Amino acid sequence: MLPGELAPPQSPPDRPPLPICTITAHFRTINTTGGSFAGHGYLTIWSTLTHQTRILEGYTPDGNTLKAWDSRVGLEADQPSTDEIVGTVPTSTKACTYEWIILSPAITKINNANIPYHYFGPNSNSVWRYLISMLPGFQGAAGFPPASAVGYNSKLPGVE
């Protein structure tokens, strides 16, 4: 190149693809004394960015207070690979934003409300319903919510 000449234009660097996420509602039966009466629902979020699954659900760490969390492992009995899938949010790049823009603030709100846990609700299924109600485009499978989702319709005091 001679002095005063401009360098030829270069192609911009390739942009990495945007992540795509899948949000799925799972449900499992809880085996209790005398048989199976109730179940437990939770959400999973899988991202092409991290190739990891996050589990969002309600639980009661002390048996008295209802809490919510977002974790990599979930409760001991959660088995996303085999638990029934009962609903989804359409897989998309936009779904990746829901965990941080919608669900994480909702979990914080639940945890700050000091909600007393009750077997018939509010309970983990009440948390599940609240989180699902905030997800744009959620589509439940036929028969959603499951009849054994005890507490599903209970409101979360101090939250809604």
Eight-state DSSP code of residue 95? H
Using a pLDDT cut of 90, give the percent of the chain over it. 82
**Residue 1: is its pLDDT beyond 70?**
no
Helices (H) and strands (E) in the chain, counts: 3, 7
Joined together, the tokens standing for residue 84 give: 């029934």
Which pLDDT value is given to residue 4? Answer: 67
The mean pLDDT of 86-100, rounded to a whole number, is: 95
Which pLDDT value is given to residue 92? Answer: 95
CA distance 136 to 21: 14
**Residue 8: is its pLDDT beyond 80?**
no
Which residues have CB under 8 Å from 102's CB, separation 6+? 134, 135
**Residue 33: is its pLDDT beyond 70?**
no
pTM score of the predicted model: 0.88
Which pLDDT value is given to residue 10? Answer: 78
**Mean residue pLDDT across the chain:** 92
Q: Are 44 and 37 in contact (CB under 8 A)?
A: no
Asked if the bond preceding 9 is cis, omega within 30° of 0, the reply is no
